[in-house]
Amino acid sequence: MKLLSLTWVNIKRLIKNPQILLMLLLVPSVMIVSIFSGNLSQKDSEKPALSIIDEDKSEKSRELISKLEESYEINFMNDKESAYEKIKDGSLADVFYIEKGFEEKIHKKENPKVKIVSASEDTGRFTAKNIIDDFVNGEINGNQANQVPEAKIEMDKKDNTMNFIVMILMMCYFMIISASVIGEDLIKLKKQNIIKRAITTANKDYEVLGGIFLAIFICQSLSTSLIFTAIYKFAGITLNILPQTILVILLCSLLSTAVVLAAVRWIKNVTMVSLTVVVYDLIAFIISMVNLNLSSLGEVTSVITILDKLSPFYWMRNILGSTDIILSIGMILLMSACFFTAGSFKLMDFVKDN
């Protein structure tokens, strides 16, 4: 009960600190908005863009495109392979593909094929799909309803979560950096003897330090998760790995809090604490990105892979990719525990040291 009470006291203290509030609210908002900037800017435009490859180039295909132009800004593409590559690298969300023979099948009252090639399970193109369905059904059915099956759009799915994973890892990178501001707050508490007075009032050392740890973790993880979910909903997109993303945010917050506590206990200097956290975060992130790029090129280096496994970003990447989730959670928890204890379970020296 004392631990919970101390946690609540620290939560109230943190949310009254303008500098901490800036770290908890503004920084996550900027990071997450930057991730979804493409979706948000598209939502603000009068007409969303729609990419189309028209291989039929017939009167009927042009009629269909004219219908789509009433709701979309049409972006015509000629090269199918180029469009697919843009989808793979994340620069294009999807493309509608009108196959050759579209008009011929309509004249024969057959079901023509219109494909949408996309990188995710749902790119929000319900209006376009309904327009295509209505147009095709109107052409092939005429006045004889149900003479042929209703036209359906084939979904040619491509597994392309890596671009999103990298963006989430970058968000975690900035989460750890932004947590360094907590170091200044902890050192100020030590200099003002607030932590020392807390111990002398029948509170155990692990309860005092644990209360601070839990308060920071709860504030950062809750604020980032809520902001992420709100912006994700506002952007109007569907992510296939949203639960894993929230889990990674929680684990990253746990780790960042532990890293800052460790830096404060080892260094006890505000500037050096921030510098240490930034350097650790930067090195870990660079190693993880280098190994990721080498793996995508098929040039895996054993030394880099081993170093990458010492980085929390390696295990976060596994969770986002739904690979060895339990093991990855365990490894991040272990890293957090190591930083929290700073190599020792004797926390009295840190709490009492001036």
Tell whether the model's pLDDT for residue 189 goes beyond 80: no
Position 348 confidence tier, pLDDT thresholds 50, 70, 90:
low
Interval 334-346: pLDDT, tens: 999 888 877 554 5
CB proximity list for 84: less than 8 A, separation 6 or greater: 95, 117, 158
CA 328, distance to chain mean position in Å, is 17
Quote the pTM value: 0.66
Domain 46-152, CATH: 3.40.1710.10
Interval 235-290: pLDDT, tens: 655 556 778 889 999 999 999 988 988 888 788 788 888 899 999 999 999 999 88
Between the ranges 28-42, 178-192, 218-232, 308-322, where is the mean pLDDT highest?
308-322
User: Rounded to 5 degrees, what are φ and ψ at 53?
Assistant: -110, 115
How far apart CA 10 and CA 186 sit, in angstroms, is 11
Neighbours of 118 (CB within 10 A): 21
User: Rounded to 5 degrees, what are φ and ψ at 155?
Assistant: -100, 110
How far apart CA 175 and CA 232 sit, in angstroms, is 18
| Cα–Cα distances in angstroms (integers) from residue 141 to residues 32, 59, 106, 136, in the given order | 47, 18, 9, 8
Pick from 38-42, 49-53, 105-109, 116-120: least confident = 38-42
Name the more confident of 277 and 296. Answer: 277
Question: The tokens 């101390």 sit on which residue?
Answer: 6
| Angle at the Cα of 87 from the Cα atoms of 131 and 241, rounded to 5 degrees | 90
The first and second tokens of residue 262, run together, are 């460790």
Find out whether 153 and 129 touch, Cβ atoms under 8 Å: yes
Position 35 confidence tier, pLDDT thresholds 50, 70, 90:
low
Question: The tokens 């009254």 sit on which residue?
Answer: 16
Q: Which of 219, 253, 259, 222 is nearest to 11 (CA)?
A: 219
